[in-house]
Structure 1
Amino acid sequence: MVREEQRQPDVVTRRGLVVGNYCHDILIRDGLVVGESLGGAASFISNVLDGLLIPCDYVCKVGSDFAYSVTHPPMTSPSSMTTLFHAHFFSNRDESRHQDRVLRRIHACGPISPSDLPESQFDFGLAVGVAGEILPETLERMLDICRTVFVDIQALIRVFDPADGTVKLVGLKESGFFHLLPRIGFLKASAEEAPYVDIEEARKWCSVVVTEGKDGCRIYSKDEKMQILPFPAVQIDPTGAGDSFLGGLVVGLVRGLSVPDAALLGNFFGSLTVGQIGLPKFDSRLLQRVNDELQRKIQCISCCETRNAGADFRMSVEHKDFQASLIGATKSLTTYCGQEDQWSSQSSPEVKEQSVHHQNNGHQKLLFQDPVYEETAQHIKADNDISAAPFV
């Protein structure tokens, strides 16, 4: 049974551990470099967790050549370079390629070992490697020190061609991690990765979330399966949307929401991310509105029957109202910002250019204008998502 204090608003003080390297991403179109940016799931996830006041420790490695300033400083490995990915995009679709992007790992920073993890206990952990940096023994150590562990499947099933570093996927059963599945809380996979997981087998052991882009996400438990609808969004850059989804899902569960409601919050942050270039900047007023709504729901939950939020797959009676409140928050902010931009433009003709630069947030990446690339530029880090297990 969940203790009384665990149902109170101060549940936000639960502490998490995020494990996965930062990296450099270079975008290449038809053989020409067209952009570069900060990569690594940790950068996008921290954006959501920090914005909604969820405290976490971060274990990330980079080389001495690391080019970006980040909120949570990584460890520096003196013997290796920062992980570097080249994402190759092609104007002409090649049927033999079966995809519009080829992702190659050019450099790999040192792996994260169990000894790199803190000697502490955590309420939850996120294993979000992108370049094979999380070892089976490292994940096992996370499972020992974290009450609930969320795993992005790309951390487990990516393999890399020894000749040119091309990223490929292997089945979870062949990955060396399958034996740990019964101890994982939530397993996240994109629609592209899901066939390598065997969802029906995995859901016997842990909760599974499959993100489906513009179709929202699908959540699975041993006995339940549910589609969670998406939020309307104008897609500008899909990079990191899965990571933001994962961050939103974790926040919802940490705050005591049911799994469907937490997944809805994940979809919300994913939709915000695709509407901005590179690492998104979430307006502080919007984050406050989300925090206020979460606080309201927590108070409602505390008045109801005791429940284990992380294990609750029932869609709450307020699910549609929760969705409407989140949509309302973005609409009200859009109206306010539209007025603000109109006032500013009267005194500064450069306001639009400055706004775009501000959204880029210092982590440069070229925006593809070709509609084909608006859909396929999933970036060096493939789509992410997540799932979760009970917080007890």
Structure 2
Amino acid sequence: MVEDRGPSCLIVGNYCHDVLIKDDTVIGESLGGAASFISGVLDVFSISSTYISKVGTDFSYPVTHPALICPSFKTTVFHAHFSSEIKREERVLKRVCACDPIAPDDLPNSHFSFGLAVGVGGEILPETLEKMLDICDIVFVDIRALIRVFDSIDGTVMLVDLRETGFYRLLPRIRFLKASTDEAPYVDVEEVRKCCCLVVTNGKEGCVLYEKDKAQQVAPFPTIEVDPTGAGDSFLGGLVAGLVQGLGVPEAALLGNLFGSLTVGVIGFPSSI
């Protein structure tokens, strides 16, 4: 008799080196990449998960779920620039180094209950997402994986409309699409909600779930924000963990808000989760 191990997850997205810079001074360096924050949440619930991430030989951090080593590439590096001149919480994000993209052949030929496409540095290709949709029952996509582009000179992160990407044709097959309030203008909310659940996160305001015939606000957890890096990733991990545990979507989103609030209270990766 084969043992039933419950739902399984496939998480696709590279690990990164994150460098926080305020007024041209480095104030912190940490493990980055959505996969690192999501693993910190899913591991709390002992959810069976497979991680497909790529790093270079210069990768500096120990991780619970090893990455694929690419000898010809360096690890993806992001510089997050903050300024004391800016009163509201705002940063300029730059990708200063990019590792090898994740190709369809890098994914296992296995079946998964859930798939999470969580690229942050342009590492997920349209054909890679298409294979995820083929091998996973339910796929969650962070919109960053689809609409981020990078300045050819200094790597500044910019956004483009989803319709302008090679991912647009796959939208009807995606079950959950997550976007921040800064990213939501780059999708047509009314169009997206017809085919999937659009989750829009809004920091201390919580999140809103947009489904075919309704929109629902999900309450936040109050916290003091120190560093917003990874909050959306931890939110997504909590959302998925809640659904795996059998919660409804609003309750799972509330759990996501909890993990997001824990993440913004520290610089870099939260060790307390």
TM-score under structure 1 length normalisation:
0.67
User: 1:105 offset after TM fit, Å?
Assistant: 0.9
- For the residue of structure 2 that corresponds to 1:13, the secondary structure is coil
User: 1:90 offset after TM fit, Å?
Assistant: 2.0
The code of the aligned residue for 1:111 comes to P
**Dislocated runs of 4+, deviation >4 Å:** none
Q: Which among 54, 58, 63 is matched to residue 70 of structure 1?
A: 63
The correspondence of residues 31-110 of structure 1 with structure 2, limited to 5 A, is 31-93=24-86, 100-110=90-100
Aligned to 1:143: 133
Aligned to 1:269: 259
Q: Could you say if the C-alpha distance between residues 45 and 11 of structure 1 is closer, same or farther in structure 2, counting changes exceeding 3 Å?
A: farther
Q: Which among 141, 155, 160 is matched to residue 170 of structure 1?
A: 160
The code of the aligned residue for 2:180 comes to S
Aligned to 1:336: none
Q: Which among 196, 206, 223 is matched to residue 206 of structure 1?
A: 196
The code of the aligned residue for 1:22 comes to Y
Q: Following the alignment from structure 2 to structure 1, what is the Cα–Cα distance between the partners of residues 231 and 238? A: 10
Aligned residues of 1:12 and 1:255 also touching (Cα < 8 A): no
Q: Following the alignment from structure 2 to structure 1, what is the Cα–Cα distance between the partners of residues 155 and 132? A: 27
Aligned residues of 1:65 and 1:81 also touching (Cα < 8 A): yes
User: 1:265 offset after TM fit, Å?
Assistant: 0.9
1:35-84 deviations in Å (ceiling 9; x for gaps): 21111000010001000111100000000000000000000001110001
Q: Following the alignment from structure 1 to structure 2, what is the Cα–Cα distance between the partners of residues 255 and 30? A: 43
Larger relative contact order (C-alpha < 8 A, sep ≥ 6)?
1
Aligned residues of 1:11 and 1:254 also touching (Cα < 8 A): no
Q: Following the alignment from structure 2 to structure 1, what is the Cα–Cα distance between the partners of residues 149 and 260? A: 26
Do structure 1's residue 23 and structure 2's residue 23 form an aligned pair?
A: no
Long gaps (5+) in structure 2: none
Q: Could you say if the C-alpha distance between residues 278 and 253 of structure 1 is closer, same or farther in structure 2, counting changes exceeding 3 Å?
A: same
Q: Could you say if the C-alpha distance between residues 34 and 232 of structure 1 is closer, same or farther in structure 2, counting changes exceeding 3 Å?
A: closer
The code of the aligned residue for 2:197 comes to S
Aligned to 1:349: none
The code of the aligned residue for 2:9 comes to G
The correspondence of residues 152-191 of structure 1 with structure 2, limited to 5 A, is 152-191=142-181
Q: Could you say if the C-alpha distance between residues 223 and 211 of structure 1 is closer, same or farther in structure 2, counting changes exceeding 3 Å?
A: same
Do structure 1's residue 247 and structure 2's residue 237 form an aligned pair?
A: yes
Q: Following the alignment from structure 1 to structure 2, what is the Cα–Cα distance between the partners of residues 258 and 193? A: 25
Do structure 1's residue 256 and structure 2's residue 246 form an aligned pair?
A: yes
In the alignment of these two chains, the number of paired residues is: 271
The code of the aligned residue for 2:201 comes to T
Q: Which has the larger radius of gyration?
A: 1
- For the residue of structure 2 that corresponds to 1:35, the secondary structure is strand
Q: Following the alignment from structure 1 to structure 2, what is the Cα–Cα distance between the partners of residues 232 and 210? A: 18
TM-score under structure 2 length normalisation:
0.95
1:114-173 deviations in Å (ceiling 9; x for gaps): 000001010010000000000000000000000000000000000011111111000000
Q: Could you say if the C-alpha distance between residues 196 and 243 of structure 1 is closer, same or farther in structure 2, counting changes exceeding 3 Å?
A: same
Task: Among all aligned residue pairs of Structure 1 and Structure 2, give the percentage whose two residues are the same amino acid.
Answer: 66
Do structure 1's residue 118 and structure 2's residue 119 form an aligned pair?
A: no
Structure with greater strand share of residues:
2
Q: Following the alignment from structure 1 to structure 2, what is the Cα–Cα distance between the partners of residues 253 and 133? A: 26
The code of the aligned residue for 1:113 comes to A
RMSD (CA atoms): 1.8
The correspondence of residues 237-316 of structure 1 with structure 2, limited to 5 A, is 237-282=227-272
Q: Could you say if the C-alpha distance between residues 30 and 236 of structure 1 is closer, same or farther in structure 2, counting changes exceeding 3 Å?
A: closer
- For the residue of structure 1 that corresponds to 2:199, the secondary structure is strand
Q: Following the alignment from structure 2 to structure 1, what is the Cα–Cα distance between the partners of residues 163 and 35? A: 26
Moved more, 103-112 or 225-234: 225-234
Long gaps (5+) in structure 1: 1-9, 284-392
Q: Following the alignment from structure 1 to structure 2, what is the Cα–Cα distance between the partners of residues 19 and 113? A: 10
Aligned residues of 2:29 and 2:268 also touching (Cα < 8 A): no
Q: Following the alignment from structure 1 to structure 2, what is the Cα–Cα distance between the partners of residues 37 and 272? A: 16
